[in-house]
Structure 1
Amino acid sequence: MTRDLPAGLDDFLAQAGWEGAEIDPLPGDASFRRYFRIRKGDKGAMLMDAPPPHEDPTPFLHVGKWLGEQGLRAPEIYAEDAARGLVLIEDFGHDRMRDWLDVNPSEERRAYADAIEALVELHRRPPGPFDSYDWDVYLREVNLLPEWFAPAAGFAVDAEGYVDAWREVLLPMLPRQQPGVTVLRDYHAENIMLLGPRGEYSGEQGLIDFQDALVGHRAYDIVSLLQDARRDVSKELEGEMLDLYRSRIATDSDFAADYARLGAQRNAKIVGIFARLWKRDDKPRYLSMIPRVWDALERDLAHPALEPVARWFDANIPADVRAARGGGLG
């Protein structure tokens, strides 16, 4: 068996009917969670190890069960022991959307159109029993930039003015996210599995990494998909997919502005998160993604709805640093 297995795993697998299964670790992500591919005979499954106190699988179980009840393609849950942080789930296979498109770039439009259709289906359902994506959450997230990016880049910034600018930009949007939709919050090409025989996309997609779901604005997950920190999405494809979504679900006249608002909010958050991963968690590999995030942030800041926040960036982050795309890191 693989070394460094989760505590209590043998008992957990035995109780779930998987005693003696083969266990292979998968590469980690930015969290403390670990994943293992489990095989016993011709059966396969995925093991999530979300060890307390750093992780808690309860939100994953809560959201995953709700998605399944709505007929959406979350992995089936085979066994769970939340106290030990162990969850055995359906194995969606090897084909993450990002990796599959590296090999099959001609299928890009099809895969993204299917991902948009999945959001259409999600947004046609009443919002789930989740907390609200409210002003306090938005503010906590955007504050990651002055808290982590600014000191890492060596900038002293106007933190109070930053909050004021975001308040002016985001508060007018909040009434438009009522009653809201379920927002998965990390809906991008690394968290979408393309289902079917290995290397053969059937058109069905599976959802993963949805444990942080909230109830918020319908534009948020579209931003997450089309302004992806981990994969280039052309402006042409971004526009085409936005048009596709708007052809399937009615949107108001503020939708484009709110898309830019949430794009800027999300991208500012991600710059802060990547700086934190570098400085606090010793994970410098995320720095290579910052130029892509910074490019998207600049496009969002160009929208008139972002003028107060854009003015803050002009005053606090030097133009030459921003033009260098690295944002002062790396």
Structure 2
Amino acid sequence: VKNVRVKALAQWVSDVTGNRNGLVPLPVEASARRFYRTTLGERSVVVMDAPPDTEDNAHFVALSNCFRHAEVSVPEVLASDLEQGFLLVEDFGDNLLERTYGLGQDDKVLGLALAMLVRIQGISDPIIPAYTTERFTAELGIFRKWVLQDLIGVSTVPFDDVIDFLVRTCDTQPKVTIHRDFHCRNLLLKSNGTIGAVDFQDALVGPISYDLASILYDCYYQFSDATIETSIARYLQLAREAGHSTTDDEEDFTRALEITAVQRQLKAVGIFARLKLKQDRASHLENIVPVMRRVCELMTKHRELVACAKWLETTTLHPIRDAVARLR
């Protein structure tokens, strides 16, 4: 089936671009989509294979237009066959933010990302659905099932006790449009020095701290406490200037941000484990243990989460590390 699909894709690309230069595969990400590079005239473009049975491609196109209209730089869709799930999109290059971190320009790069984040929060469009409490709960269920039950086989009781608190903290924040996967592998520095975002198709209207939690408590990079603190202050200033309804109390906001980061990172660890256990994709195994350690650190800062953090540290961290080592 896969070969038939690749052949059909190559034929479609050839028809659209008028060239037979072939498709150069790009690194696999944590979804059902596959990406390739080819050329359209003189320019490099990205080919997206997004199976329509799992991907809502019409929504992707609509969101691309919506974000670009709001001056948020996401790839323009240049051609599409939505029925087959084939799209030709603008190429933002390979300079992921991940590659720019730690080289002495973190402040500058984060400044660009924060400015984009605030622009995204200013988008208001009925095509963007709400982040529901059911969805928050289901996401924590991914960690519960794929890590606690399937990866290491332990009782979930201490974790179950904090689910309502995590969901409530996420859900009671002011709501804005969020990218929802706003991290260093979905943000790129373009050749003109501006920043671009990819993987925006899951955008929702959700907690105001969510995208900030994604970038500052990134699963793929750890910032210093000082950088995080400065970035929170910078974000709050930008948000106030943009007229977003954040709190004036930096301490309250930071508390909500950290608890939102816990919810998000637990979901991510669950997805990383599921990728291996369900699809035999080991691409994100190496991130599981470092992210779990950071989750425990963040949890211990909040009294409602301390007991669960202690339980995770004493009961689950070693078995998780052993299970990951076995699976690699």
TM-score band by shorter chain is 0.7 to 0.9
Q: How far has the Cα of 1:22 moved from its partner? A: 4.1
Distance 1:40 1:88 in 2: 9
> Which residue of the other structure, out of 227, 242, 245, is the alignment partner of 2:235?
245
User: Retained in 1: the 8 A contact 2:180–2:210?
Assistant: yes
CA 1:29/1:169 → structure 2, altered by over 3 Å: closer, same or farther?
Answer: closer
Question: Residue 8 of structure 1: SS of its match in structure 2?
Answer: helix
Distance 2:208 2:193 in 1: 23
CA 1:235/1:328 → structure 2, altered by over 3 Å: closer, same or farther?
Answer: farther
Q: Which residue number corresponds to residue 267 of structure 1? A: 265
Shifted more, 26-35 versus 145-154: the winner is 145-154
Distance 1:297 1:189 in 2: 18
Q: Deviations over 1:159-218 (max 9, x none)?
A: 5x64442213432552333xx21111111111111111xxxxx43011101111110012
**Structure 1 length-normalised TM:** 0.86
Residues 1-330 of structure 1 aligned to structure 2 (within 5 Å): 6-10=6-10, 12-13=12-13, 16-101=16-101, 105-126=103-124, 129-159=127-157, 162-171=159-168, 173-177=170-174, 180-196=175-191, 202-250=192-240, 251-252=246-247, 253=249, 254-304=252-302, 307-315=303-311, 317=312, 319=314, 321-322=316-317, 326=321, 329-330=324-325
User: Retained in 2: the 8 A contact 1:184–1:210?
Assistant: yes
Question: Residue 47 of structure 1: SS of its match in structure 2?
Answer: strand
Q: Deviations over 1:2-22 (max 9, x none)?
A: x87634335533553444344
Q: How far has the Cα of 1:95 moved from its partner? A: 1.3
AA of the residue aligned to 2:173: R
Q: Deviations over 1:99-131 (max 9, x none)?
A: 2447xx122221112111111222234366311
CA 1:324/1:57 → structure 2, altered by over 3 Å: closer, same or farther?
Answer: same
Distance 1:284 1:21 in 2: 31
Q: How many residues align?
A: 315
User: Retained in 2: the 8 A contact 1:322–1:328?
Assistant: no
CA 1:148/1:329 → structure 2, altered by over 3 Å: closer, same or farther?
Answer: same
Distance 1:118 1:12 in 2: 34
User: Retained in 2: the 8 A contact 1:115–1:205?
Assistant: yes
Shifted more, 133-142 versus 240-249: the winner is 240-249
AA of the residue aligned to 1:43: R
Question: Residue 172 of structure 2: SS of its match in structure 1?
Answer: helix
Distance 2:317 2:21 in 1: 51
AA of the residue aligned to 1:293: V
Structure 1 vs Structure 2: percent identity of aligned residues?
24
CA 1:321/1:166 → structure 2, altered by over 3 Å: closer, same or farther?
Answer: closer
Distance 1:47 1:218 in 2: 32
User: Retained in 2: the 8 A contact 1:275–1:287?
Assistant: yes
Question: Residue 104 of structure 2: SS of its match in structure 1?
Answer: helix
User: Retained in 2: the 8 A contact 1:291–1:327?
Assistant: no
User: Retained in 1: the 8 A contact 2:140–2:263?
Assistant: yes
CA-atom RMSD in angstroms: 2.5
Q: How far has the Cα of 1:247 moved from its partner? A: 1.8
AA of the residue aligned to 1:195: K
Q: How far has the Cα of 1:274 moved from its partner? A: 1.3
Question: Residue 214 of structure 2: SS of its match in structure 1?
Answer: helix
CA 1:14/1:276 → structure 2, altered by over 3 Å: closer, same or farther?
Answer: closer
User: Retained in 2: the 8 A contact 1:169–1:308?
Assistant: no
User: Retained in 1: the 8 A contact 2:178–2:203?
Assistant: yes
Distance 1:294 1:327 in 2: 13
Structure 1 residue ranges without an equivalent (≥5):
197-201
Distance 2:71 2:25 in 1: 29
Q: How far has the Cα of 1:138 moved from its partner? A: 0.5
CA 1:169/1:23 → structure 2, altered by over 3 Å: closer, same or farther?
Answer: closer
User: Retained in 2: the 8 A contact 1:48–1:88?
Assistant: yes
CA 1:327/1:114 → structure 2, altered by over 3 Å: closer, same or farther?
Answer: farther
Structure 2 residue ranges without an equivalent (≥5):
241-245
